[in-house]
Amino acid sequence: MSHDHHHDHGDHAHGHRHPNQPDHDDALTYYRKLEMAVRELLIEKNIISADEVRKVVEDIESRSPEGGARVVARAWSDPQFRQALLEDATAACTSMGFEMALYDVKLTVVENTPDVHNMVVCTLCSCYPRMLLGLPPAWYKSRAYRSRAVREPRAVLREFGLELGDDVSVRVHDSTADLRYLVLPMRPEGTERMTEAELIAIVNRDSMIGTAIVSPPIE
Amino acid sequence: MSAAAAIATHAFQPGQTVHVRKVDSLGHIRTPHYIRGSTGVIERFVGFFKNPEELAYGRSGEPRCALYRVRFVQSQVWPDYSGAAGDTIDIDIYEHWLQPVNPS
């Protein structure tokens, strides 16, 4: 986009230079250099194209937890969709219009019930249902969460503000392979008359990772 | 055709008890260390996927491997586990890391 920049703010004459804003570039770390070098080599060797890289980056950056919230709200509102979602989440989300083809993994939705609370982690790296939630939060990728979520999930949940009784089983999912997990949280009481659009607004990201629940809306 | 035949079967069924091989293997392994040597139950057969241990080295990943979700009881995985008896952990594990356990 061309940007005609006529500097003429009222009577403010421009005989001087604006001080430059400091650059906000991230540090050029070892791994960033490594990524750039490998990417440029792969492009040079025609294994991938710059356009493919751009397409994937743009796609990931276009996703956000609102996508997952739409899926959850639909499942709460439509029992048939809920059933389809639990059986084949990739197909069910495709039917809602989500583009899933870029993600060569099997999306799997696990449902919270009064007896079972599900919680997702990837101990090996940071596998995450990006197609529905976008990029994972920093804590999800941290060593502390990845190691503690499997070993002491209840202590981790407590730190997130969620205290579960012993009558609820905590079911941790370590996404180590080709599955990506999304938690279907329980629909809170008092939301029976809410529309699907209203429900979307109350579904928080962490409830779909399993480190939170969905609270009833505050009147 | 032979490739198709090779992927047509998988060894374990839901409910079956399995043991995770306890080996220190080099390379790109998706079976977490903490679960090697543990015994769990097949929760479901997921499908056939390219072998990540091969894919990581630029190879084809074929033939594809059977992948399962295996459920483990937390108190058996961690001797000092402090949560409830019903707490479990599900892990996605490829068939070549699993061995059958005969019910005694």
User: Rounded to the nearest 5 degrees, what angle is found at the Cα of A180, between the Cα atoms of A192 and A106?
Assistant: 100
Q: Which residues of B touch A106 (CB under 8 A)?
A: 46-47
pLDDT tens per residue, range B63-79? 999 999 999 999 999 99
**Subunit contact B93:A152, Cβ cutoff 8 A:** no
- Give the β-pairing of A116-121 and A169-174: parallel
Q: Which residues of B touch A168 (CB under 8 A)?
A: 84
Task: Report the residue from B30, B78, B90 with minimal CB separation from A124.
Answer: B30
Domains of chain B with CATH codes: 2-100 (2.30.30.50)
How close is the nearest chain B Cα to the Cα of A109, in Å? 13
Q: Is the pLDDT of residue B8 over 70?
A: no
Active site residues of A: 122, 125-127
Bigger pLDDT: A208 vs A217? A208
Q: Which of A8-17, A45-54, A102-111 is predicted with the least confidence, judged by mean pLDDT?
A: A8-17
The reported pLDDT for the residue numbered B1 is: 42
How close is the nearest chain B Cα to the Cα of A87, in Å? 11
B76 to chain A, any CB pair closer than 8 A? The answer is no
- Give the β-pairing of B88-94 and A169-174: parallel
**Subunit contact A171:B34, Cβ cutoff 8 A:** no
Tell me which DSSP letter residue B63 carries.
S
The answer to whether A160 and A212 have CB atoms below 8 angstroms apart is yes
CA dist., res. A77 & res. A96, Å (int): 14
pLDDT tens per residue, range A85-124? 999 999 999 999 998 887 778 999 999 999 999 999 999 9
Report the percentage of chain A scoring pLDDT > 90: 75
Q: Is the pLDDT of residue B97 over 70?
A: yes
CA dist., res. A59 & res. A103, Å (int): 10
Distance from chain centroid for Cα A129:
6
**Subunit contact B31:A176, Cβ cutoff 8 A:** yes
| A158's tokens | 């407590």
pLDDT tens per residue, range A54-75? 998 898 899 999 999 999 999 9
DSSP reduced 3-state for B71: strand
B58 to chain A, any CB pair closer than 8 A? The answer is no
